[in-house]
A and B are shown apart, each in its own frame.
Chain A
């Protein structure tokens, strides 16, 4: 009985897993096929391992993929750290507010997320022009931080709300200041929330095309996703190149994420001692 139940559970989970794995598999096998073969046999395993698609990527005019990765790393890591830093502070405050005030700030945050991207860009450009930061990494980092903070605050707050107030009160009684309580108790306990939010902020920053394109016009500063979009411009049906570019973009993220898993587990362990 037990094992049938278990089997059922695993089957369901694996079925869903297949759907999520399929696109990656599909992109990968197609990146080794020439475009004509992709169109004829989109599903099949490649006849030969055609690596031209990958070699072609280095031929695209002034597009340097390695540089793109470096830029993506600088931008996305900085944004993520900044968001988590400011966001965790803000969430702590918010999690302990009374209902009315919290609701107000809540609406403020929800509203912030609904502003369309094109509305954000022009005022931002004007601000950056005034403080002489146009075209710099910092301009994009600040703008992305502003865009991803609301989500992060909303999410981390909901986690922090379920941290028992008694823990903080115990710390105060022991004479800890607010800052100390935050650093030594709240932050460690919130690690799962921080990691979760952090992963998403990183991903969104990594994949953000529009803001990067407008705020960083210089090719040498552009992150990888912008470079990827250049590969599929108006005149392109070069699906082979698109697939290989896509795959090249995805791989680092998957690798980082798999390594991060270890950190997540350790974080959870050293947190509130759960499981």
Chain B
């Protein structure tokens, strides 16, 4: 019986100590801190470049402590983190985050630092930027404070396109799919040889949706929310699905498993983006090209989905409090030497960088981007996330003919309009 009393006392003691300890830990102070949020962590291909960049910054500014709050993009973890941070007045000092539709709620808070002044002031630094790339991070809309202003700085851009295992095409005497006929021919021949024609996921069908809609509607159709060409685009995905082009479990397979099929040459083609270049096992025999134009489609054969989907943001408050340090940090990160590190892994630079030693695959991607007549930001940057999710998740119903593309789009449109109120 006496056991319990002393045990109880020790328990109380342990609890008290642990609680005190944890409170103490949270009050410990340090030097000049810079809170940075990015998604360069874990398996993200850019993580090594980020690590190097931070180390170089530390060398230059030894009294600054970079607090790395990197969060992965998986499961929208970073979106949630950034948004909740802003909502609770706890926004990071610097962040590398998505632009476009994701930026709007942040701009509404008025906490974002606008770059136009700094760009004018420091020409030596700002002249390095490709002016076209800055357009992607310029806001045009109802929020007066930021209308026409540059709210973030792009560094690495991306493209989406059709990846082709050249060696498989050569093996079966197929011409590269530069037009729709060659494309459908390739699908039927590959299928007959038990090669999955297109490694794609209908569940995680972001890239399919965007590229097909662009192909059908051209830049104008693609960039106008719920343009009739959207229906055409979705119906062509359906047609391709019915040709048996996708893996048997396309309705549930995840994108990374689909990619694996392409990397291991079990599939002939895939519709994906520049971030895959880093993971390619065979960089010699992979070619990247625009998705062929669908019959009657309005796109030019060189039009692609791409752009600068992420950029460096700075918090107005932090910049004022920390005497311009956040801005200095971003200028460092957007300097040609640093951007080159990132670009050597994947992506397209917004800054003038020396590109040497590229693999054939990466080179074909760059060429595709350089030759493009029009580069359009993906649809999920143009309509509210809820509407895009509706389309993406509803795609399975469309390809299996359970619902019509028309109805699906009508519903998504309603969602988009409801959110505008």
Contact = CB atoms under 8 A, between A and B. Distances in A.
Interface of A: 39, 60-63, 74, 77-78, 81-82, 85, 118, 121-122, 125-126, 129, 133-138, 141, 183-184, 187-188, 213-214, 217-219, 221, 229-238, 241, 270
B328 interface: no
Interface of B: 1, 3-5, 8, 11-12, 14-15, 18-19, 21-23, 25-26, 37, 39-45, 47-48, 50-51, 67-74, 77, 80-81, 84-85, 87-90, 256-257, 259-260, 264, 275, 279
Nearest to B22: A137
A237 B260 contact: yes
Given A214-B84, A231-B43, A233-B74, A78 B90 contact: no
A236 B256 contact: yes
Contact of A136 (B3, B22, B40, B42): B22
A39 B260 CA distance: 10
A229 B74 CA distance: 9
B15 A218 contact: no
Given A184-B5, A270-B3, A138 B26 contact: yes
B23 A61 contact: no
Given A229-B77, A235-B279, 18 more contacts: A61-B41, A61-B47, A61-B50, A78-B19, A81-B11, A118-B80, A122-B88, A136-B26, A137-B26, A138-B19, A138-B22, A141-B19, A188-B4, A214-B81, A233-B43, A233-B74, A237-B259, A241-B43
Contacts of B21: 74
A63 to B, nearest CB: 7
A133 B43 contact: no
A219 B42 contact: no
Contacts of B5: 183-184
Nearest to A39: B260
Nearest to B76: A234
> What's the dominant secondary structure at chain B's contact region?
helix
Contact of B15 (A63, A78, A184): A78
Contacts of A138: 19, 22-23, 26
A74 B74 contact: no
> What's the dominant secondary structure at chain A's contact region?
helix
Contacts of B259: 237
A213 B42 contact: no
A61 B42 contact: yes
A221 B22 CA distance: 11
A78 B23 CA distance: 12
A118 B87 CA distance: 13
Contacts of A238: 43
B15 A81 contact: yes
A103 B183 CA distance: 67
16 contacts: A61-B42, A61-B47, A61-B50, A63-B41, A81-B14, A133-B23, A136-B25, A137-B26, A141-B19, A187-B4, A213-B81, A214-B80, A217-B71, A230-B43, A238-B43, A270-B3
Given A78-B19, A125-B90, A234 B44 contact: yes
A232 B44 CA distance: 9
Q: Which 8 A-B pairs have the closest CB atoms?
A: A136-B26, A236-B43, A233-B72, A230-B42, A137-B22, A233-B42, A78-B18, A234-B74
A82 B15 contact: yes
Contacts of B18: 74, 77-78, 81
A236 B42 contact: yes
Contacts of B50: 61
Contacts of B70: 61-62, 219
A63 B42 contact: yes
A146 to B, nearest CB: 15
A194 to B, nearest CB: 11
A136 B23 contact: yes
B92 to A, nearest CB: 8
A234 B90 contact: no
Q: Which of B18, B37, B260 has the most CB of A within 10 A?
A: B18
A133 B26 contact: yes
Contacts of B3: 188, 270
A15 B15 CA distance: 41
B371 to A, nearest CB: 27
Contacts of A235: 43-45, 256, 275, 279
Given A61-B50, A213-B71, A219-B68, A78 B22 contact: yes
Contacts of B68: 62, 219
A230 B11 contact: no
A39 B256 CA distance: 13
